Each structure stands twice: as C-alpha cells, then as structure tokens.
Chains A and B, each alone.
Chain A
Amino acid sequence: MIAEAAQHAEVAVHGMEWTVKELFTYPNEFIYWTIQIVMYPFLTGLVAGAFVLSSLYHVFGQDDLKDIAKFSLLFSFALLLVAPMPLLFHLQQPQRNWEVMLTPHFTSAIAAFGMVFSVYMAIVASEIWFVYRKFFVERVNELKNKEGLGNAILKLIYTILTLGVFDVSERALHKDERAVKMLAGIGIPVACFLHGYAGFIFGSVKANALWMTPLMPVIFIMSAIVSGIALCLLTYIVIMEWQKFQITRHGRRSWHMSADEVKGAEIDMVRKVSKYLIGFLVAAITLELLDLIFRGYTAVKSWDILRSVIYGKDFFNIFVLQYSIGNLVPFVLLLLPGLTVKRTVLATLLVLFGVFMMRWNVVIGGQAFSLTFAGYMHYHLPIIPHDAETFKEGLFGALLMGGLPFVFFWIFNKIIPSLKYK
C-alpha cells in the first residue's frame, strides 16, 4: 500500500535537524532557509561591490583606482560564477534548476533574479573581453611559434577567447575603450539592480515581519558595496604582500618593481580605497539604523516579538557582532590617522565579518520567531556533517562556497593575469 510505504519511509523532515522550537509555533514551521541563504546574498553582494569598485575607475575616471580596477573586475567575475551556487546547493531538487530560466514565473523575485543575473554575467564577461582582448591576441601571436601540447592547448584557449577578432589597431583599441566605459556604465545600475533584487527577495515577503520593509533592497545594496570593496582591498593587499615576499626572498623578476616600490604603491592604494569604504559604510549603517528606529517608533503588531528577538535573543549577534565588532571597530580603525596596511587588513576582515553577520541576522533572524508571534525557533548550525543535507546546509558547505571564488580567481589568473598585465 502506498500510504504505508510513505509511513515507513525514513522520516527526514527538512529543517528538523537544526531547528529547536520554543513556546507556540505552527507544526510546519522550521528554519528552512539556512546558512546557504546567508552565503547567497553575501556572495552576490561581493560581486556587486567588486564591480562597482572597478566601475569607479572605468566610468567616473577615478584614476587612483586604476590598478585595483582591473583586478576587481576579474575577481567580480569569479564571485559571480559562485554567487548562485548557494541557492543551487540549497534546492531540494537542484537538478531542476533550469526551470528558473525556461519557465520563469516573473511575479517571483527569484525568477526575475535569474534573468538579471544572466544579463549581468553577460555584461561583466563582455567587459573583461574588451579589457583583455589585446592581451589575448598578443598571446596567440606569441604561442604561434612554440611547440608542445601545453602550448597548443593554451593557444586554442586564447584563440577561442579572441572570438575571432585579431584587429589590434589603434582605432580598434579605441573602440574597446569606449565599449568598456559603456559596459561599466550600464553595469553599475545592473549591479545595483542585481543586489537590490537579492534584497527584494527578502523585503517583499509580507509574511515575514522582520524582512518586509521597502528599505531592504537599498540596505542590501549599500552593505554589498561595503563588503565588495573590503574584499577587493583585502585580496589586493594579500597579493601585494605575496609579491613583496617573493621579490625579497627569491629575487624573482615576476614583478617589474622592487619590493619598496610595491610597498609604496600598496599603501597608497590602500589609503585611497579605504576612503571609499568609509563612505559606503556610513551610508549602510545609517540606513540600517533608520530601519530599526522606524520599527520601534511605529511599533506595529509584530513589534513585540521583533523587539524580543532584536534586543533579546539576537542581541549579541546584532549589537555586539554586527554593529560593534563588524561596523564600529573597523570604522574607527580606518578613520584614525596614519593608516597602516596591517590595520587595514584587520579592518577589512572585520567589515566582511560585519556584513556577513548582517546577512545572518536578516536571514536567520527573520526565522527566529514564529508566524504565531508567540514562539521562537533557534538555529543550530550543523558543524560535523553526517549526511548530504548537514554538509550542504552546514558549516563546511558554507566554507566551500566561501572558498570557491578564490579557486576560480586563481584559475582565471592562469589565463588572464589581471595583476601583472598593464
């Protein structure tokens, strides 16, 4: 009998593993959106932020950002490829993901997100093509006379990357520049739209008292830019330090500057970028506080339970980890005169942590209270996985997502050396 088969099948209720319920909750309520859904807006935010940073140079001619711009563009692409993966990991039927593209139901923010995401991917990929097109052609010409299977494969890759365009005349390169500028210009609103949509996914859920606010998309965009700039800055410092280390240790000539020159260029860049970081950080915090003040002042029906979550159950996560350690401390660190590289590293790490905690407090915090407004749910992050589910939706699944962009970036850099190429 079918019914009996279903009854005797192993009862694996999604969410039961990591949800502890307290007081009066509906029977079907569990924490369904877990750490992967925290990773998803976090990564999307990094993409948008990295792209905006590169566009500041390409569009607004912020020449001080020239070096970091090329690197952050490629890094943005690496992040972009990983950004939808947490969602994919989280799906109960991941093999059906293509339906989002083939039967999109556009009244859903997630379906629209798929389209915006693809457009954005196309823009970033095209921009990279225009920026590095000359380099591809040069490489093909270099590899023409070289023997060996490795070189043949490389040549094939670069030939494909040229898309069959070998024209590197002044006129053509000028066209490239104009195209880059245009794409970067279109890219900024699309990047904001992309991440605004991630905010919209949450902000438009009217059933969730914590999520539903029209400020959500704007808050998400601001914190996205903050985290994107912080990550680019941090990665930039790490790579520069690595170059310095190699130059001093091995005297390697992979970099065409001396260690001191690298150091000088590095701290110069760090100071410039950190100014942008502070600006966006102030905007992000202002919006978040505005949201909090409005909720408290208007105190609608849901405020009693929200207050007990914000000022009670999640106080440590919100006010200590997010606002104090994640926002206030790095703000002071960056603002104090005589900014050093070490201090910037600490500050950017804290900023990234702060933005991650902001995502956490929205996604997990929004499920910390019951729809009954008379009960709570506690999330216990699975650390040691014992099945696919606890891996996917646990600490290691999240770490995998966090590490993948760096792996992709490393691979891309084998083909497109975004740090060396001038």
Chain B
Amino acid sequence: MKFTRRDFLTTAAKGALITALPAGAIKFLGPDEVRADIDSSGKVRWAFLVDTFKCVGCGLCVKACKNENETPYGAPVTRTWVERYIIKKNGEMLADTPLGARDGFTDNKVRGDEVDPKDIGKAFFVPKLCNQCDSPPCVQVCPVGATYQVGDGVVLVDRSWCIGCGYCIMACPYGVRFFHPVHKVAEKCNFCYHRITKGMQTACVDACPFGARKIGNLKDPEDPVTKIVLTERVGVLKSEYGTKPQVYYLGLDENVR
C-alpha cells in the first residue's frame, strides 16, 4: 500500500480535529440531528399527567376544550372526554361517558339505570385525550402527509391538506380522532398547541379546579410532571399496541379501557 503525501495530510488533519474536540463530541451528528439540537424543540417533549384520584367528573375540562378549540358544542364528538367506571361488588363493570361528559356526571345513573350504592365496589372517573404517542399509528397511515408529529411530540392535523379518508381515525386505538363537523377533516386533541407554545397551559388543565390534569415537558428534569412520571408509579393506556403513549395516569385501574 502506498502512503502518499495527500493521505498523510488528511490523516493528520483528522487526528488534529479529533484531539481538538472534547470527548463527548466525537459522535458524528447528521445535519438533521444538529438542527434538532440547536432548535429549541429538541429540548421539549410535551407529555400529560392525569391523576384519576383527583378527578370528580365535573366535565369543566370538556366544556372548556370544546369552546377553546371550536368543536361544535352540541355534537357528541370531542377532543377530550371523561369516562365513569363503576365496578360492582360482583365484578360487573359499568362504564359510560354521556356526550363525553360535557355536562359532567350529576346522577348515579348509567344509561338510564340507577346504580344501587350498596352494590358499588369501586367507582372513579378517567379523563381521556390524545396520547401524542411516540410511535403514532395515525400518522403512519396518513396517505398524504396531512397529519404529522412535531419535534416536541405533538401530533397535528393540517386542515388544508387532509383529504378526509378516515384512515387515521381507524388507526388510533384510543378513539381520539373524529371528523370535524364543520371543517370536514380529521380532528384531534393537540394539547392546545396554540396555548402551550405561548407558555400557557392547555384549556382543560386551566379549567380543572382539582389539579387532575397537568401538562409538562419530559425533557425538563425540574418539570413537576417529569418528576412525578419518574418517581411515582404511573400507567399508560393500551401499551400493548406499541404506540408509546405520552399521557401518564396515576391510579389507573385494570378495568379502564
């Protein structure tokens, strides 16, 4: 093998470059990675925490969400909703979410039938919203690139690009997607992207008087949500689908669907 002067020079230059760099920087970053590192979005991963012990089923979150995000108030579809679970002492599960709990739960009737308090083994409320999955199946199946995930983890829908095929609605195991009754395109919770990117909380988090809902940044170790996710026992919904959901639940029950 011939070792030319040119080879020598390049090797020497490489060697000088490597020694000049701190040890941690030897990892070669692609242009996208470099951009992601510089971009502030590389330092944000939005996630949600729901404390099911604190939820009282008032539905103020649903009301606020519908107004904030212009989901027709009378329509049964909604970006967020609250479910009620009543597990009877005989093991039977009753669950409902009338109008997504837009008007809250004000009586002890499930689909018109009064539940005898003596029969109740346990009962609780579970708020639901988009999980902004790390591997969102809804985005994977969009044929035209009308729904996508931003670097900060939020999945958005481009209303001017969606063709309305409904494939994303079918692909979501959590049933969070629907066709917007006015815009006639796929619609979903986006963690109130217009609010969180302005330093505000989501409308549902603000509306909840009990602190059952929290939004935070998983990449910030000082964030209260991050602290809870990392230090307490939290669960996620339907992990068996491999979607890596980013809405964490405290006090999740095996009956929750």
Contacts and interface: CB of A to CB of B under 8 A. Distances in A.
Contacts of B162: 92-93, 96
Contacts of B176: 26, 28
Given A32-B166, A91-B163, A6 B141 contact: no
10 contacts: A6-B70, A7-B74, A11-B75, A24-B95, A24-B97, A28-B78, A93-B163, A108-B167, A110-B141, A207-B172
Contacts of B74: 7, 11
B229 interface: no
Given A103-B144, A201-B167, 9 more contacts: A6-B182, A26-B128, A28-B169, A92-B162, A96-B161, A105-B143, A208-B170, A371-B174, A371-B175
B113 to A, nearest CB: 12
B179 A32 contact: yes
A108 B161 CA distance: 15
The 6 A-B pairs with the shortest beta carbon distances in the complex, nearest first, are A92-B164, A26-B175, A110-B143, A28-B178, A207-B173, A111-B143
Q: Which residue, A15, A94, A207, A373, has most C-beta atoms of chain B within 10 A?
A: A207
Nearest to B166: A32
A372 B238 CA distance: 10
B257 A105 contact: no
Interface in B67-106: 67-68, 70-78, 81, 93-97, 99-100
A205 B170 contact: yes
- A contact face: mostly helix, strand, loop, or mixed: loop
Nearest to B146: A99
A420 interface: no
Nearest to A111: B143
Nearest to B74: A11
A109 B181 contact: no
Interface of A: 2-3, 6-7, 9, 11-16, 23-24, 26-30, 32-33, 87, 90-94, 96-97, 99-100, 103-105, 107-111, 114, 201, 204-208, 301, 370-374
Nearest to A97: B163
A99 B93 CA distance: 45
A27 B179 contact: no
Contacts of B11: none
B97 A27 contact: yes
B72 A33 contact: no
B137 interface: yes
Q: Which residue, B67, B81, B141, has most C-beta atoms of chain A within 10 A?
A: B141
A28 B176 CA distance: 7
A26 to B, nearest CB: 4
B142 interface: yes
Contacts of A103: 144-145, 161
Nearest to B128: A26
A207 B179 contact: no
Nearest to A206: B241
Nearest to A209: B173
B165 A90 contact: yes
A206 B182 CA distance: 29
A29 B77 CA distance: 8
Nearest to B174: A371
B41 interface: no
A105 B182 contact: no
A374 B93 CA distance: 9
A13 B77 contact: yes
B143 A104 contact: yes
Contacts of A3: 67-68, 70
Contacts of B174: 26, 371
Contact of A372 (B144, B166, B257): B257
Contact of A11 (B72, B143, B169, B175): B72
Interface string B152-169: 000000000111111101
A24 B110 CA distance: 10
Contacts of B178: 13-14, 28, 30
Given A14-B184, A33-B166, A371-B257, A92 B179 contact: yes
Contacts of A32: 166, 169-170, 179
B96 A24 contact: yes
Given A32-B166, A104-B143, A11 B137 contact: no
Contacts of A100: 143-144, 163
A92 B141 contact: no
